[in-house]
Structure 1
């Protein structure tokens, strides 16, 4: 048997959080590998069809620094992203969000470039089979279509979005009952859209009536019809389909995906007749994956609560921040339940630390949080911020010769302050 290839850090999942974790750690001098089931980095950012990052700014000003700012600035300079501040949500015009709208296909190229430049080793189209955390190292077993192989590392990051690594390490996780899971959405992209009349219509106040009519006739399955114009194109992405299923049940998930796709043609026909600018549009792509708003979460050393966010608790071990409101897509009423939060809130390092593990962190949606808090922090810019800090935390632990649960709040905070002030 060949000797396993060894790294300082293995990141399982190269999605929105995992890609940033890997790049951040590699830039700090660590040897980093990423195990990614898809053939690209970015996850939701690049594969879900979602073309805007909600809460990328706060009160008209970009919120993030570090790698997030670097990436956003390069996207904007490349002509495929732009900020839009104070944009009303289609499901509730009173809720206004600062957003970064972007082209995900161009973003795939950017993330590949960043990973290559930082020296990250990528294992695309590769699945995790098993994992073990020992006293002095970690071992993972993975497979591609053609081979199975072991890898070793000093540290692990679970950025799978569903705590898959944590479960394979033998730790318990939290899953919402299937009947209470948030509604899922399959995005699709329309081309040959006349943007000017569409934008005028979106801001005219007439969209609410169209949504109500579509819902009353059964064409729309929820009271949402969110158009996102993609910068420097004649394209928009649509957030409109709705599907309810247990995301861990293969048969149910397959039926849910088919149901969401079945809704696309009737919706497109409806909006071509009701929404200005859409008359000559056509369906140019359907997202590679359906957007699952909810997934398994860990039992962490601290469980983030909605009250923490409302009180904007300044945790001593804060590693990330956000300002997106609580946004629950209710599976019973088919409505979106909003709770606007008062300002910029924080996420503590302890919510990234799984109980009972010492060399493993989580980054992304499987961190330790109550359902209501999770419904606020799950959006892409926040997960990017969590991911970057997770990568830095591993780099700091490596430098100090410590396990991840041995880092003190004060020392980690000081280290992160240096990283984000550069």
Structure 2
């Protein structure tokens, strides 16, 4: 087994949570290794083509990435409003990949791609390192503190942490794949949307309509088309998608539309389900493009450009931590003494056993307790991102990228502090973590009077 070194901090998973956590740890003075099973940095933000955060991006590494992307002409960090609150941080996925690479390299994070974690090195209940598989065989690395940013809670599960799956065992929100269509006549599409508002839940912009395709870049948004989907079925069109609406989002290029419309019900931890999802979601993308070309103005001369290489997994394991964030916390704008970030990401539920999408505002937002990042029964491990400790409804908010980045920023800072002091993350003074985050500009969510600027 090849020895890859000893570090202050090891982060598993290089989606937005892993990128933010590793850079934050390195900025806080830790020597950090970032390990990723695929060849893509940024996860859903790059390989998943997810270009619109559901919530305001707070200061910290995530915000720094957006500012850099904006400087390349590939992002708009202005605050936008929609029925479920405010959000910020529209971007082009490939520009985001570029700035992630630049940021990681400049920060000095050590990176290992194509390295799948297969085991946890334990000493009693204390996590000491990871075993991972590479093309050259197994490898091992050790650290004073580790962060599971895998999304699926892979490292936490291998370390023996307890976890939850969905609202009930094996019932989880469906998988998806974003895809992109080019050569769309966005002026004609907006005309179609204006003429068929009864068939839409939302459409933006809705006043002062632009006259050229390029003016819609990173701005146009529409959700709906249920009546036309129903008509297509009655016409004999083979609609194979298990949902009754389509979400359209303009990309950076003139005539570019990003779609969130596919759906596969299954367990992403099951290799056969995951394989079927990868195939069926592509077939659904072909079906949706055929539908749009036939039933929606502006798509007649369009081209299906690409389907995201990274599978959009919404839900798998949620680690049981020292505190489980609840739906009541999220819905009542809860504040906590140990909060490490205030999130205004809406509740966003793709029904595990149905065709519907449920969106719900969380008002001025809720605090995320540091305790949600501490897995019960395991030491020297923090979790960040999608797998933090939360119930099914709270998770439907915390799984959104701005909330994931908040928990990752805190995990990176905490891991660096724990490694430097050679103590367990549980033994840290939360106020020290909060002080560091506050200096970065993060609104913590400790005080009922706190608001995210622009929310």
* 8 Å Cα contact 2:127-2:378 kept in structure 1: no
**Structure 2 matches for 1:236-247, cutoff 5 A?**
236-247=257-268
Deviates more, 1:225-234 or 1:237-246: 225-234
SS in 2 for 1:266: helix
The alpha-carbon distance between structure 1 residues 197 and 367, as it changes in their structure 2 partners (threshold 3 A), is: same
Q: Is 1:68 aligned to 2:66, yes or no? A: no
Pairwise mapping of residues 18-417 of structure 1 onto structure 2 (< 5 A)? 18-56=18-56, 63-83=57-77, 85-86=79-80, 88=82, 94-95=83-84, 97-134=86-123, 138-176=128-166, 177=168, 180-202=171-193, 205=197, 207-208=199-200, 210-215=225-230, 217=233, 219=239, 220-417=241-438
Corresponding residue number in structure 2 for 1:60: none
**Structure-2 separation of matches of 1:32 and 1:247:** 28
**Is the 1:300–1:354 contact (alpha carbons within 8 Å) kept by the matching residues of 2?**
yes
**Offset, 1:395:** 1.6
Assess, with a 3 A threshold, how the Cα gap between structure 1 residues 83 and 113 changes in structure 2: closer, same or farther.
closer
Aligned mates of 2:3, 2:48 — CA distance in 1: 37
Q: Deviations over 1:70-101 (max 9, x none)?
A: 1111112211112465555xxxxx54653432
Alpha-carbon contact 2:318-2:386 (below 8 Å) kept: yes
Q: Distance in 2 between matches of 1:330 and 1:21?
A: 30
**1:178 shift after superposition:** 6.1
CA contact (8 A) 1:101 1:231 kept: no
Cα distance change on mapping 1:87 and 1:342 into 2, 3 Å? closer
In structure 2, relative to structure 1, the CA distance for the partners of 1:2 and 1:165 (3 Å cut) is closer
Report the CA distance between 1:419 and its aligned residue: 3.2
Gaps of 5+ in 1: 57-62, 89-93
Indicate how the Cα distance of structure 1 residues 37 and 200 shifts in structure 2: closer, same or farther if over 3 A, else same: farther
Where structure 2 has 5 or more consecutive residues not aligned to the other structure, the ranges are: 201-223, 444-455
Q: Is the 1:155–1:360 Cα contact (8 Å) retained in structure 2? A: yes
CA apart distance, 1:3 = 5.4
TM-score with structure 2 setting the length: 0.84
CA 1:44–1:3: 2 relative to 1, 3 Å: closer
Taking a change above 3 Å as real, the CA distance of residues 148 and 24 of structure 1, as seen in their structure-2 partners, is same
Tell me if structure 2 keeps the 8 A contact 1:228–1:236: yes
Quote how far apart the aligned CAs of 1:45 are.
Answer: 1.1
Counterparts of 1:234 and 1:213 in 2: how far apart (Å)? 22
- Size of the aligned set, in residue pairs, is 411
Q: TM-score when scaled to structure 1?
A: 0.91
Other structure's SS at 1:53 match: coil
Structure 1 residues 180 and 390 mapped into 2: Cα distance closer, same or farther (>3 Å)?
same
**Root mean square deviation, CA, Å:** 2.3
Aligned partners of 2:323 and 2:371 also within 8 Å = yes
